[in-house]
Amino acid sequence: MDEKIIVLKFGGFAVSTGENIKRICAIVKKEREKHKVVVTVSALYGVTDELVEISKKISNLPAIAVEDAAKKFYDEILALHYKTVKECIADEKILNVAMEKIKALLEKLRITLIGIGYLEEINPKFMDFVISFGEKMSIHIVSGALNDIGIKAYPLTGYEAGIITDSNFSHARPLPVINETINKNLMPLIEKDTVPVVAGFIAADIKGTATTLGRGGSDYTAALLAKHLKAVEVQIIKDVEGVLSADPKITKNAKLIRQLSYAEAMDLALFGAKVMYSRMIEPAMEANIPVRVKSIFKPDDEGTVIVKKEEVIDRIVKAVTMMKDVAIINIKGVGMAETPGIMGKIFSEFGNRGINIIMVSGSSESNLSLVVKKSDIENTVEAITTGLNSGMRKIDVMDNVRIIAVIGAGMAGSKGVAAKIFKIVADNDASIIMIAQGSSEVNISFVVEEKFSEDVVKAIHEKFIEK
C-alpha cells in the first residue's frame, strides 16, 4: 500500500444485498493492496425512495393512524437492514454493534415520523432530516462487514466526514471550509490505515442541521472527498459496466465507452444519462482527478474513465442521450424587445427560485424559448410573469417533448455532423422544435416531439456509432 488515496463509491445497487456488500469488501481489500481507501456509500437499495414516500404519506394521515404507520415503517426498515446485516456480517459481536446503532437510528426516525404525522407538515428541511437516515444506517452495515473480514473501518456521516453545506435543503452546496474539515476529520483515520466509510449524499449546515446534496448526490460526496483528499482516482461502482453510448433500453446495441472527457461526461449526465450525478464532475475536474465508472460484478475491468483529455475517436460521436420530463416554455411579446434588461430580470428571478434552465434559444429579440423540467413549469411561468411586469407578452408551454443530445469532442472540428444529424431526424418524420444556442463544443442538442424521440435516438446511434 502506498500513501496515495483512492475514493470508492458504492451506490444503492451495490448495497442492495449482503452478497453485494461482500463484493464491496472484496473490492476494498484488493484496492488496499495498492492505495489507502476511502469508501462512500448510498442508502440500501430503495430506502431513500421509501423515506420520501412515508414522509409524504404520514403527513396526510389522520392523527389516529399516525403512530401505527410509523411503527409499521419502523418494522419494515428494521427487517430489511437486519436481513442484510445477517447476510454480510458473521461475527456476532460486530453484528450486534451494527444492529444497535441501526435500531437507535430507527427509533429516532419513528419519533420524527410521528411528529410529521401529527403536525401534518413536510417541508424540505424535515424531508432532508428524514431521508438522511438511509445513509446513516447503511454506513454501519458496510463498515461492520469490512470489520468482519479483518479490515479496520469506521462509519461517518457526511457531516462527521467534514462535509458542511449551506442551508439550501434538498440541494445543499458545500462551503469552502470543507477544504479543512474533510482533511481534519478523515486524515487521522486514513493515517492509521482505517477505512473511513462515509455516508454519501447527506451533510449538515454550519449549525449541524441535516441537509442533502440532491437525489443521486452520493457521487458528489465521493468527488468532494477525492478533491480535498487529493485522491489519485474516484471510482463509481455500479451495476453497469461503465458509461454506455446510449440507453440500452432504447437500443440494445449500446456500447461501452472507454474514455470520456470531463466536458463530455458532464453533458451526458446533464442530458439524461443516469450513469452519474452531473455535479460530481466539477470537483473532479477542478482537481484533475480521474473518475472511473465500473461494475461491481467485474471489478477488474477498466470500465469508463473520465479524464481531462478530449479523446477524439474515429466515429466522432461517442454517445446519444435523451432527456425526458421536460417542457418548452415560449415567451413572445413586443415588450421584450423594447424594455432593456428584461432578460436579466427574468433570469435573476429564475436564479432566486432555484429554477434550472436546461436549454435557451432566442430566435428574435421578442421571442425566447426555454427548456425546463416538467416539475418546474409552474414556477417558471410565475417567474416570467414577475420578471416581465410590463409589455405585451404571451407564454405558451409544450410538454410533449424530449431533448436529444449527441455527444463527442470530435464534432467540433468535423464538418457536416449537424447536417447529418438533422437529416436523420427528418428521415424519421420528426421536426426539430428547438436547437440549443451557445451549446458546448462537445454536444449538439435539440428538442423533438416525444413520440419520435426513441426512434431518432436509435437511428442516430445506428448511423454514427454502430457502423
Q: Give residues in contact with ligand ASP (CB under 6 A).
A: 11-12, 42-43, 48, 134, 200-201, 215-218
**Site membership for Mg ion, residue 200 (CB under 5 A):** no
CB of 339 to ligand ASP, least distance (A): 41
Q: State which residue, 74 or 271, has the beta carbon closest to Mg ion.
A: 271
Residue 382's CB is within 10 A of a number of other CB atoms, namely: 13
CB of 279 to ligand ASP, least distance (A): 11
CB of 301 to ligand ASP, least distance (A): 22
Interacting partner of 174 out of ligand ASP, Mg ion, none (Cβ under 5 to 8 A depending on kind): none
Residue 423's CB is within 10 A of a number of other CB atoms, namely: 12
Answer yes or no: are the C-beta atoms of 409 and 442 closer than 8 Å.
yes
Q: How many positions of this chain bind Mg ion (CB under 5 A)? A: 2
C-alpha cell at 214: 440532491
Q: State which residue, 110 or 279, has the beta carbon closest to Mg ion.
A: 279
Among 11, 158, 174, 408, binds Mg ion (CB under 5 A): 11
Q: State which residue, 13 or 347, has the beta carbon closest to Mg ion.
A: 13
CB of 106 to ligand ASP, least distance (A): 17
Q: State which residue, 131 or 316, has the beta carbon closest to Mg ion.
A: 131
CB of 213 to ligand ASP, least distance (A): 8
| 165, HSE (Cβ side, Cα atoms, 13 Å) | 26
Q: State which residue, 213 or 371, has the beta carbon closest to ligand ASP.
A: 213
CB of 131 to ligand ASP, least distance (A): 7
Q: Indicate the Cα dihedral angle 312, 443, 350, 345, nearest 10°.
A: 100
292 Cβ partners below 8 Å, 6+ apart? 233, 234, 235, 236, 302, 303, 304, 305, 306
CB of 9 to ligand ASP, least distance (A): 8
- Strands 210-212, 394-407: pairing kind: unpaired
Q: State which residue, 24 or 346, has the beta carbon closest to ligand ASP.
A: 24
Interacting partner of 48 out of Mg ion, ligand ASP, none (Cβ under 5 to 8 A depending on kind): ligand ASP
Among 158, 216, 217, 272, binds Mg ion (CB under 5 A): 216
Residue 191's CB is within 10 A of a number of other CB atoms, namely: 10
Q: State which residue, 11 or 155, has the beta carbon closest to Mg ion.
A: 11
Interacting partner of 43 out of ligand ASP, Mg ion, none (Cβ under 5 to 8 A depending on kind): ligand ASP
CB of 16 to ligand ASP, least distance (A): 11
Residue type, 394: K
CB of 62 to ligand ASP, least distance (A): 29
Q: State which residue, 134 or 174, has the beta carbon closest to ligand ASP.
A: 134
Of 165, 171, 217, nearest to 12 by C-alpha is: 217
Interacting partner of 303 out of Mg ion, ligand ASP, none (Cβ under 5 to 8 A depending on kind): none
**Site membership for Mg ion, residue 134 (CB under 5 A):** no
Interacting partner of 373 out of ligand ASP, Mg ion, none (Cβ under 5 to 8 A depending on kind): none
Q: State which residue, 73 or 464, has the beta carbon closest to ligand ASP.
A: 73
Interacting partner of 242 out of Mg ion, ligand ASP, none (Cβ under 5 to 8 A depending on kind): none
Binding window for Mg ion (CB under 5 A); candidates: 7-15, 96-104, 153-161, 222-230 = 7-15
CB of 63 to ligand ASP, least distance (A): 30
User: What residues make contact with Mg ion under the rule CB under 5 A?
Assistant: 11, 216
